[in-house]
Amino acid sequence: MGDPAGIGPEIALSAVADRRVTDVCEPVLYGPRTEEDRARFRPGELSAEAGRAALEAVERAAGDAMAGRLDAIATGPIHKEALALAGSAWRGHTELLADLTRSGDVAMMFHSPRLCVVLATVHVPLAAVPRLLTEERVGAVLDLARANLPRFGLTRPRLALAGLNPHAGEGGLLGTEDRDVLAPAVAAARRRGIDVAGPLPADTVFRRAVEGRFDAVVACYHDQGLIPVKLAAFGDAVNVTLGLPIIRTSVDHGTAFDIAGRGVADPTSLVKAVVLAARLARSPR
């Protein structure tokens, strides 16, 4: 259900009663399920107790999925500050699930009919991105994208790598990372048979993808990728974690503390996440 002080519980309760969900799977809820349990959390209030409840729900669901008791999990939104108050070292589902499942390289992908984006780095400060954006990391994310996109009907995905610096560095004039790190990673990936172009200027590559010239864009950092996908497909995009031994999808929005408890939250994104998780569970891995 996500953070019980956010909109997670109300959208989860709506989603499990939605015919689009019940027609494709048997939903199982993790998190405070009764009105009495949920009443312990004040809507819109940040707390360590809510963070612990969200964390425990994810841990239980991941454990059941690893044990084969679930075919897939779809997660509601969690609050990173609440996780920190609860003592968690992880700042998001992606990192947490990678740890719980003892996975190696993982990546966050936002999939929608209009635009698909894979993130090379996720919940880190912007200042840390150049250090984390190594040739090895970029290559691993390109490999994950190529390996997983066929499950979405893209048998030979056409990938683009967004540049880190303005104009993809302008040959080193505006930063050397594109020339010294990203370009070699792309060249190595192409030698491995991956259809990838780049690094390409980030101010135009997402539009080219929306126009159909690429099947997915690999973005260097969180906001570089999520601003365009939420502009082009907010509510239609589903967060999918690549590289896990289990299927995990999620919503494309946050906890929305400002409207929590008012009964106005739209469950559409969670419905889409559950439906996609059920579809992936039926497809060959």
Domains identified in the chain and CATH numbers? 1-103+244-285 (3.40.718.10), 105-243 (3.40.718.10)
Distance separating alpha carbons of residues 67 and 100, to the nearest angstrom: 12
Closest CA to 220 of 166, 270, 269: 166
How far is 155 from 147, CA to CA, in rounded Å?
9
Name every residue whose Cβ is closer than 8 Å to that of residue 276 and which is 6 or more positions away in sequence.
111, 238, 240, 249
Instruction: Name the strand (E) or helix (H) holding 280.
Output: helix 268-282
Distance between CA atoms of residues 88 and 194, nearest Å: 37
- How does pLDDT run along the chain (285 residues), one tens digit per residue? 999 999 999 999 999 999 999 999 999 999 998 889 989 999 999 999 999 999 999 999 999 999 999 999 999 999 999 999 999 888 788 889 999 999 999 999 999 999 999 999 998 999 999 999 999 999 999 999 999 999 998 999 999 999 999 999 999 999 999 999 999 999 999 999 999 999 999 999 999 999 999 999 999 999 999 999 999 998 889 999 999 999 999 998 999 999 999 999 999 999 999 999 999 999 866
Cis before 199? omega within 30:
yes
Tokens of 269: 């994104």
Distance CA 144, CA 201 (A): 22
